Amino acid sequence: MRYYNTLIETIGDTPLVKLNSVNKGIKGTILVKVEYFNPGNSVKDRIALKMIEDAEKEGILKPGGTIIEGTSGNTGMGLALVAQAKGYKCIFTLADKQSPEKMDILRAVGAEVIVCPTNVSPDDPRSYYSVAKKLNQDIPNSFYPNQYDNVSNTKAHYESTGPEIWRDTEGKVTHYAAGMGTGGTICGTSKYLKEQNAGVVSVAIDSYGSVFKKYKETGIFDEKEIYPYLTEGIGEDILPKNVDFDMIDHIVKVTDKDGAVMARKLAREEGLFVGWSCGSAVHGALEYAKENLKEDDVMVILLPDHGTRYLGKVYNDNWMKDHGFLESRKFATAKDIISNRNGSADLKTINKEMTVGDAILTMNENGIDQVPVVDASGEFVGSLNDTKVLKSLLDNPDIKNSAVGEIMDPPFQFVGMDNTIDVLSSLISKNANALLVRDDQNKVHIVTQSDLLMAISSN
């Protein structure tokens, strides 16, 4: 008889499949490694098994223990399957931008799910990173795998994914591409392949709103690069220890829309019903391949998960239309709003040391009712709203002699140039009715509530 003792014995040995349609006109052979053949339908099954087995060997995880992890969903699924096979309990923290399907699947396999806000800093006690760490401290006999900094993540791919690609291409692979999140998938696999052939080129796919690309190219961790985006599973606002930039040759950024559209295209034209970041990986890899691949080259693109995780988003026509990803009507973006303005006046700002009285004069002279506040170095440190200023003056007329920094509100949020008016309007609030956008020339623009109203009325 041929059978497996537990489901986790089926992890790995996923197939390579040749692309035949979406890559038309591109030289070379393009293969995708389809990770949804893993039992948990994602590449994260590999690291889940490795992290738990290594923790058992080190005595960190003991029988009857609880596994606690911050996850975008797929790592949680892998950990849950391994936990079932080994008799552990699971608690997972997720950011609220993750799809409902991911949360439902985790609950279905017996895990407890705690949903945390997306738009908070990693060290905020409400973030899914911080909540997971706190639970680990408070719950006896618990284990926090921490896929971001746990080197077993990288080792899993060095020991399995890399060797499989090398074996199945008979050593002919010339380029390897994968999404970049925790860093383990791209770096562990790349490390193995480069040890076999130093000429193998690794291409990491990043998201707009993530810090990776600029850090790789400049060595600067630029918080100005960080802003909300919708794609799940790639990009970060931190630098995980599993990211080894020496193992990455190029980083390509992909918009939310391009990733989502490509995912649907892969399902329709290649029969590959894959997740959102899979579309991002293919779109970014093909953008690189157009200019760089030669006829004899072999590129392998890793597709991390399955489309069932995104039925309510990428594969839902109404959701796609609402976000401007399907062109049932023309959706303006932040870039369109800025491009359609008359003239190209520089953004008006106010220094936080300026008096409130002088700030009012400046706002009146320029006909603006809200303005970003900067410090001496030009950093955006706050914002000023005429309604708030008026209220402050009525309460205390002497405040006009005080520094703006004493009454300013938090700084306006930065968003991406490709965000549609639907997304932009959802980020506007009563207390913050403007957003900031940084263009390709590093110039900052403001998008106000009035801009959004004009854009909506013209569509």
- 403 Cα distance to chain centroid: 38
Closest CA to 182 of 217, 146, 155, 209: 146
The catalytic position among 18, 24, 33, 44 is 44
Any catalytic annotation for residue 348? no
Distance, in Å, from the CA atom of 301 to the CA atom of 312, rounded to the nearest integer, reads 25
Written as one string, the DSSP assignment of 374-391 is E-TT--EEEEEEHHHHHH
3-state secondary structure of 26: coil
Distance, in Å, from the CA atom of 245 to the CA atom of 206, rounded to the nearest integer, reads 13
Written as one string, the DSSP assignment of 243-283 is --GGG-SEEEEE-HHHHHHHHHHHHHHH---B-HHHHHHHH
The total of other beta-carbon atoms located within 10 Å of residue 246's CB is 9
Distance, in Å, from the CA atom of 249 to the CA atom of 253, rounded to the nearest integer, reads 14
| Contact residues for 64 (Cβ-Cβ < 8 A; gap 6+) | 87, 88, 141
- 139 Cα distance to chain centroid: 29
Distance, in Å, from the CA atom of 328 to the CA atom of 39, rounded to the nearest integer, reads 37
Distance, in Å, from the CA atom of 238 to the CA atom of 108, rounded to the nearest integer, reads 30
Residues assigned a catalytic role: 44
